[in-house]
Structure 1
Amino acid sequence: MRKNIIKQYILEDFYRYYGEETNKKTYLRYAYTYPNIAFTRNLRLAKYYKNKNKIKYIWYKLRHRKLFYKYSFQIPFETTIGRGFYLAHFGNIIINQGSIIGNNVSIAQGVTIGKTNRGENAGCPTIGDNVWIGANAVIVGKINIGNNVLIAPLSYVNFDIPSNSIVIGNPAKIIPRENATEGYIENAIKI
């Protein structure tokens, strides 16, 4: 990954929060003071520098680890995360490093995206593009979440979800719906 691409990813993450082109001063102010932006920035930079610059890698890895514990974002930088990643609130978000997250994904507080160690769905989830995951939702196992999916708060998902769906409840129920995330995915980046 080239350096200008990682800068683009970081700016796209930032765009998801504020939706407008900002100057460097505004970006830097939020990048160091707003927990969600600071965390995702350090997550992306630690991943970028891992095999490129040992000193910068160690610096960003340590910053990532500090924010990991300070804000309770348990998202390892090895996790595959697409463009326009949005953490709606900080606190108690857990994502297994084997998970794959698509573009324009919004995650609320208390969400767990985890691994199942046994059974036919042993493994980690793959989440598509334009997915909104509500507070305290749990997504586990080697399952596929399609594009344009809204996962309601407190839902437990351990099976594949088709695109253009709303998922609600425990056990989860699927409600087919075109434009399921309309109004939920704010400031989506163009993919």
Structure 2
Amino acid sequence: MFSYIKYDFKRYYTLTHGHKIKRYINCFRQPGLHAILIFRFGNWIYKNNIFIKLIFSPIYLLFNFIINSLWGISIEKGAIIGKGFRIGHYGGIFINNASVIGDNVHISQDVSIGVSGQGSKRGCPIIGNNVYIAPGAKLFGKIKIGNNVKIGANAIIYKDIPDNCYVVCDCLKIIERKIDFS
């Protein structure tokens, strides 16, 4: 757990500017870092024995409630998230319990990664390494997102995406209609 936290912090630190103390302060002010730290703590509890669960679960539940309420970030503790996970902007973020996310993934606000489908097609996304997910993107269902993928704003992803791709939502449709102002 601590090696993941160290790597997550390092990722935030390298993306801040200023002198060393200012960079540390800016890192600890990031709601995304708060959320990932609480997730790592909850994930550690989730994987531990019943004694650890009984002692630390109330603390996790309190902090998780605070993160959900203040920042609008919900990362369920059963998700599998690799090192260097970064939330660029907070608000409207949901990551399902069964999601699998690789290393160095960066997500923005209003991103949902959730379950969809029925029967054998029911499941959550598996996201590769070095993926960027732009604001408003929705990923759902039993799909695989490859490595080095960039997903554009407001894209709705429900099919597999191969490695080294850009995915954009280019579905703007303008419907003309005559308006009678008389």
Give the TM-score of the pair, scaled to structure 2: 0.80
The equivalent position to 1:11 in structure 2, one of 2, 6, 21, is 6
Question: What corresponds to 1:49 in structure 2?
Answer: 45
Give 2:95's aligned residue.
95
Deviations 1:135-182 (CA, angstroms, capped at 9, x unpaired): 0011111000000000011111110000011111156xxxxxxxxxxx
1:165 aligns with 2:161: no
Q: Determine the C-alpha separation between the residues in 2 that align with 1:85 and 1:121.
A: 27
The 3-state SS of whatever aligns with 1:74 is strand
Aligned to 2:153: 153
The letter for the 2-side match of 1:71 is W
> What residue number does 2:58 align with?
58
Give the equivalent residue in structure 2 for 1:183.
none
| The structure with more radius of gyration | 2
1:83 aligns with 2:83: yes
Secondary structure of the structure 2 residue equivalent to 1:16: helix
What SS class does the counterpart of residue 113 from structure 1 fall into?
strand
Percent sequence identity over matched residues?
Answer: 36
| CA shift for structure 1 position 115 | 1.0
Equivalent position of 2:36 in the other structure = 40
Q: How many residues align?
A: 164
How far residue 42 of structure 1 moved from its aligned partner, in angstroms, is: 1.1
1:66 partner SS: helix
- 2:180 alignment counterpart: none
Tell me, yes or no, if structure 1 residue 112 matches structure 2 residue 107.
Answer: no
Q: Which runs of 5 or more residues in structure 1 are unaligned?
A: 1-5, 172-191
Residue 71 of structure 1 and its aligned partner are, at CA, apart by 0.9
Q: Distance in 2 between matches of 1:7 and 1:124?
A: 26
CA distance in 2, matches of 1:38, 1:23: 20
Instruction: Please tell me the residue identity of whatever aligns with 1:35.
Output: P
If asked which structure has higher relative contact order (CA below 8 Å, sep 6+), I would say: 1
Cα distance in structure 1, aligned partners of 2:62 and 2:42: 9
Equivalent residue letter for 1:39: A
Q: Which runs of 5+ in 2 are unaligned?
A: 172-182
CA contact (8 A) 1:127 1:146 kept: yes
Output the CA distance in 1 between the equivalents of 2:96 and 2:65: 15
Q: Distance in 2 between matches of 1:23 and 1:46?
A: 29
Q: Deviations over 1:42-97 (max 9, x none)?
A: 11012113425232333123212221222111211111111110000010011111
